[in-house]
A and B are shown apart, each in its own frame.
Chain A
Amino acid sequence: MRKLFLPLIVVATAMFAYAPYMINEAAYESSMGLVQKIFYFHAPSGMVMLVSAVVCGIASALYLWRRKPADDHLAMAAAELTVLYGLIVMLTGPLWARKAWGIWWDWDARLTMSFVGWLIAISYLFVRKYGGPGSDKLGAALAVFGTANVPFIYLSVNFWRTLHPKTSVVPTLPPLIRGPFWFSALALFLMYLLLLTARLHLERQRAALDALYLAEED
């Protein structure tokens, strides 16, 4: 990944520069108007957020199981990015909702699930920052529980009520929207991978620095 890092940054930058042009060229959705363009980064950000949360959960479970610091570093990096992408989702979602449903927020299944998942990711960072010694294991347990919780949150709110467009929207997109959509999704995923690598590197350096301090003290 280290050798690929620089060329991939160039590719990602080019994709981000080209994306607005593509989105502008995409078919104009008549009922939503200009607001529909939010879709090109709202939905992919949501996908990345979910992937990142799952990465964090799996890495945390592995860390609890075999205690390798590398797993913990990955969980930490993924949790931070879950919060970041969650923020994008949380900011762009209400803008869309205002136009589509006439309200800024609704307690529908997907919205509630994203919100709760985002809160759990934030509380993970909170534990890591203010938990003191042993907070790595604490955070790992939190992440494992949080990941196991996702289907239950989804089921419970789904029985409760649902308003958000279903996942079936994406595979059935009209061709003129589909192209720019997957282009944007790819760009955001690429950015996620790059950020994850950079954050992982930082976490590794920090662990190495801590180890050096400890060695110096002994």
Chain B
Amino acid sequence: MFITTALLVLRKDFAIEVRSREILYTTLLFALSCVLIFSIAFVKEGEPLLDAAAGILWIAVEFAGTLALGKTFERERYGETLRALLLAPAPRAAIYVGKMLGVVLLLAVAELLLVPLVALLFHAPLLAQPLLLVALLAVGTIGFSIVGTLFAAMLVRARSRDVMLPILLYPMTVPIMIAGVRGTSALLESPADLASAGMWIGLLASLDVVFLTIALWTFEPLMTE
């Protein structure tokens, strides 16, 4: 029941998105412009600064993710469908999980574009350890989406939500960013520092579990009027 509902919400969002592809295109374009801006700051005399690639990758993911999060719930509010969604005879937490999975998928697509782009533009051997990089990006993106989806959902009814989302989200995702950036630069070292990359993945995975537990617990009281 729980998983069916979550998948239904995901399918609904996917069906809407396939028609317009608005969120996907804006997110991708935004991620692209982020990388461009960073290349101006971090490339000196044609050579990128050491370690810049890991930071650029994760900051682009975080910024693009913030944009996508704001849009996901803006659509529900604009179409005045949020109330209907919440009135559905289904566990609220399942609706949250469905929304969260949508954000994760969207960011995964963005990362598919970002990783080769950053590797190419900043001469970083990002694809040297593909499995570990995928694991790191997965646990990091899921953690970001867990916090982000909850905050975006809470802010739907708040005033000045566009400004509020980054203000709340960025301090909260500091450990995710540290672990993501440090883990990626451990993978970028030659030879790759597999032990510390594994440690960061473990930290992110345990963070995901803690945050998901709190999010599932708080979503219900938060969404009750």
The residues of A with any CB-CB pair to B shorter than 8 Å are: 64-65, 67, 112, 116, 119-120, 123, 126-127, 130-135, 137-138, 141-142, 144-146, 148-149, 152-153, 155-157, 159-160
Which one of B147, B199, B200, B221 lies within 8 Å of A145 (CB-CB)?
B147
Q: Are B159 and A131 in contact (CB under 8 A)?
A: yes
Once bound together, how far apart are the Cα atoms of A112 and B158, in whole Å?
Answer: 29
Once bound together, how far apart are the Cα atoms of A119 and B210, in whole Å?
Answer: 21
Supply 10 further A-B pairs (C-beta < 8 A) apart from A126-B164, A153-B175.
A116-B174, A120-B172, A127-B164, A141-B150, A141-B151, A149-B174, A152-B175, A156-B179, A159-B182, A159-B200
In the bound complex, residues from chain A placing their C-beta under 8 Å from that of B164 are 126-127, 130-131
Q: Are A141 and B211 in contact (CB under 8 A)?
A: no
Once bound together, how far apart are the Cα atoms of A152 and B146, in whole Å?
Answer: 15
In the bound complex, residues from chain A placing their C-beta under 8 Å from that of B46 are none
Once bound together, how far apart are the Cα atoms of A160 and B182, in whole Å?
Answer: 8
- The answer to whether B121 has its CB under 8 Å from any CB of chain A is no
How many B residues touch A, CB cutoff 8 Å? 30
Q: Are B154 and A137 in contact (CB under 8 A)?
A: yes
B174 to chain A minimum Cβ distance, whole angstroms, is: 5
With A141-B150, A156-B179 known to touch, is A132 a contact of B159 (CB < 8 Å)?
yes
Q: Are A116 and B182 in contact (CB under 8 A)?
A: no
Once bound together, how far apart are the Cα atoms of A44 and B164, in whole Å?
Answer: 32
A198 to chain B minimum Cβ distance, whole angstroms, is: 28
Q: Are A160 and B178 in contact (CB under 8 A)?
A: yes
Once bound together, how far apart are the Cα atoms of A59 and B66, in whole Å?
Answer: 29
